[in-house]
Amino acid sequence: MKLLKAGPSPFVRKVLVTLHETGLMDQVEMVQVTASPLDPDSKLTSANPVGKVPALVRDEGPTLYDSRVICRYLDHVAGTKLYPQARIWDTLTLEATADGILEAAVLMVYEGRFRPENLRYDPWIEGQWAKVTRALAALEGRWMSHLNGPLDAGQIACACALGYLDFRHADRPWRAAHPALAEWEAGFKARDSMIATRPE
């Protein structure tokens, strides 16, 4: 299998953490591509027509994307139960919440990186951050018991989302308003899989 990846993508990091946690890391070749929304790599668009990373090129069967599909596939291959049937809807909803944080946070980065300065729209940027703050409040208010339970894909997604906020939006601190979430994140990021995939 080949994993198409680009830069410090938090969606790629979700897959890398999952590879570490499932013990499949040595079965996947890493392929660096360019994933600019303005000029994506042809290797990427031939694998994923949307032109986004990650994409998992399999030896048999079509290429898989996006990160949620890939993570679930890897868990199925390894049989590690990161998507436990007993709490599958909670796990999937938690993962979707974390991915929503990431989507909004990445769009904020893209606004500054790809849109000309005179065309940037601050209310739109703040609207994206409002999605993040609502999701963080939901994690703190609704999901702490799940986060503190047995390891699953929802926890991995949340840890990667919080790590990305620190990496790209350090000027918008989130911990003071969410002490329980901050305490959980401090423990989870000490896992070997998180240390090995920490963005530079």
The H or E element spanning position 31 is: strand 29-32
Per-residue model confidence (pLDDT) at position 36: 86
Per-residue model confidence (pLDDT) at position 187: 98
Low pLDDT (below 70) residues in the chain: none
Give the whole-angstrom CA distance, residue 178 versus residue 35: 33
pTM as predicted: 0.96
Per-residue model confidence (pLDDT) at position 141: 97
Per-residue model confidence (pLDDT) at position 116: 92
Architecture of the 2-78 domain: 3-Layer(aba) Sandwich (3.40)
The torsion region of residue 2 among left (phi > 0), alpha (psi -120 to 50) and beta comes to beta
Question: Token pair 């963080």 is at which residue?
Answer: 136
Q: Report the CATH fold assignment for 85-192.
A: Glutathione S-transferase Yfyf (Class Pi); Chain A, domain 2 (1.20.1050)
What are the φ and ψ backbone dihedral angles of 156, each rounded to 5 degrees?
-60, -45
Per-residue model confidence (pLDDT) at position 37: 87
Per-residue model confidence (pLDDT) at position 197: 98
Q: Are strands 2-5 and 55-57 parallel, antiparallel or unpaired?
A: antiparallel
The torsion region of residue 198 among left (phi > 0), alpha (psi -120 to 50) and beta comes to beta
Q: Domain boundaries in the chain?
A: 2-78, 85-192
Tell me the per-residue pLDDT of 153-170, one tens digit each, with 9 for 90 and over: 999 999 999 999 999 999
Per-residue model confidence (pLDDT) at position 200: 84
Per-residue model confidence (pLDDT) at position 82: 98
